[in-house]
Amino acid sequence: MIESRVEKIAEDIVSVGQLLNRLGLFPATAGNLSCKCDENVIAITASGKHKGELSVDDILLVDFEGNPLQAGPKPSHETLIHTALYQWDASIGAILHTHSVDATVLTRLDPHRNMLKTKNYQLHLVFPGIASPESELLIPIFENDQHIPSLMETALDQFERMEAVYGFLLRGHGLFTWGRDLQEARYRVEALEFIFSCELKLAQMPCLSISSTTS
Ligand SMILES: [Zn+2]
């Protein structure tokens, strides 16, 4: 692993943290950001740090089991969600986890809804495999299980039954999404959070909900 590459990744994570924080997606010390450095090493944000105020020293290196590769600050307990996703799909290069008001409220509106289905958003085109805005985008909603191994067992089982998975929601908690690199993951965060915001507004205005199907 080339040290300068890790430094560049750490700088990029800091920048993405600042960008997404401006959208209000990282209240207090919530959320985490990670990027794959190579086939053995992941760079991830330290626990307990504000994601809009990170420095490169707040980016830790862990292995694919989530074990820290250096002494110092601890990674978040949600690191194991990141490592499980990297193990599940080798094409994932970066993972972002946000805590927005919209995702939190949207997943609490109906405690029995386990899949967000959206239609008729131009931003669907951000997602490869979705050919038109009219095509359906599916985002699974899982219970906010604090036991990460059982949460990820449920999640990966659900993913197996889906044609394409671009991210998932934890009820009352937030969004996980990913991409081949940090930029693609950031675009997906922005697109999904935009859609969540629209869905929430539509839910508050039932007369407008006809053109956007959710179930
Ligand atoms: Zn979280």
pLDDT one-digit tens code per residue, 192-201: 999 999 999 9
pLDDT at 177: 98
The residue-averaged pLDDT of 93-101 equals 98
What pLDDT score does 2 carry? 61
Ligand 1 mean position to 132 CA, how many Å?
Answer: 31
Residue 139 pLDDT > 50: yes
Q: Residue 97 Cα, ligand 1 centroid: separation in angstroms?
A: 7
Q: How far is the CA of 54 from the centre of ligand 1 (A)?
A: 17
Give the pLDDT band of residue 208 (cuts 50, 70, 90): low
Alpha-carbon span 58 to 75, nearest angstrom? 9
Q: What is the pLDDT of residue 129?
A: 86
- Give distance in angstroms: CA of 27 to centre of ligand 1: 10
pLDDT-above-70 percentage for the chain: 94
Residue entry with tokens 């994932």: 92
> Would you state the torsion angle of the CA atoms of residues 106, 112, 117, 118, taken in this order, to the nearest 10 degrees?
-30
**Sign of the C-alpha dihedral computed for residues 203, 204, 206 and 207 taken in this order:** negative
Confidence of residue 209 (pLDDT cuts 50, 70, 90): low
pTM for this structure? 0.94
Q: State the average pLDDT over residues 4-23.
A: 95
The count of C-alpha atoms lying within 13 angstroms of the C-alpha of 35, restricted to the half-sphere facing its C-beta, is: 21
The CA 84 to ligand 1 mean position distance, Å, reads 15
- What does the alpha-carbon distance between residue 36 and residue 184 come to, in Å, rounded to a whole number? 13
- Region 28-57: mean pLDDT is 96
